[in-house]
Amino acid sequence: MILKIRQVGESVLRQPSRPLTVEEIHSRYLGELIESMRETMRDAPGVGLAAPQIGIPLQLAVIEDPPGAVQRLSPEEAAARGRRPVPFHVVINPVLTIPEGTAVEFFEGCLSLTGYTAIVPRAARVHVDGLNERAEAVSIDAEGWYARILQHEIDHLNGVLFIDRMNSRSFMTQENHLRFWKDKFIPEVKRALSLEEPG
């Protein structure tokens, strides 16, 4: 079932979500919810969807970056983003650890801010501990675009949106991003939008 994706301004997107119990994870309800979230994410289409985005404040997210989405990028774009296919999986009650290292900046969008994008700094590498849909412990070490997806979805579980982390001067419609900036490197965009001093 395709679910309605909540948009910015709805309070559920700004509340911390509660953890799931093992009993809840094993319930029929959760299995059906995960399947509906998978269908909704693919229909949107997106590479991640957190339960608050469909109005349910639970520590649950689904993630998938399919090969077709990656193949739509040029090899140079995919390499710059560190983007490789990520199979469908579920993350429940995730705990994010960000090791020391430099942040990387790219344009980022959100299914709950339809039609908008901005440059968002994110850690290049992350570690996540949590549970899968069978309540089994999972440990994820991710880098590149996968690390960005995990940070974005876990932010949703804590009531945080990309607009809270973005460079505000880079905020724009996706239409204008495609029209003016899609093929530009981030340093060039930042200079043009006066986001940094010329070096």
pLDDT tens sequence for the chain (199 residues): 999 999 999 999 999 999 999 999 999 999 999 999 999 999 999 999 999 999 999 999 999 999 999 999 889 889 989 999 999 999 999 999 999 888 999 999 999 999 999 999 999 999 999 999 999 999 999 999 999 999 999 999 999 999 999 999 999 999 999 999 988 889 999 999 987 655 4
Q: In the chain, how many domains are there?
A: 1
User: What is the CATH classification number for the domain harbouring 146?
Assistant: 3.90.45.10
Is the residue at 127 inside a domain? yes
182-188 own/partner pairs: CB under 8 Å, 24+ apart? 185/80, 186/105, 186/106, 186/107, 186/119
CB 67 within 8 A of CB 40: no
Residue 49: give the domain boundaries.
11-192
Is the residue at 198 inside a domain? no
Give how far Cα 51 sits from Cα of 17, 37, 97, Å: 9, 8, 21
pTM comes to 0.95
- Looking at the annotation, which residues are catalytic? 153
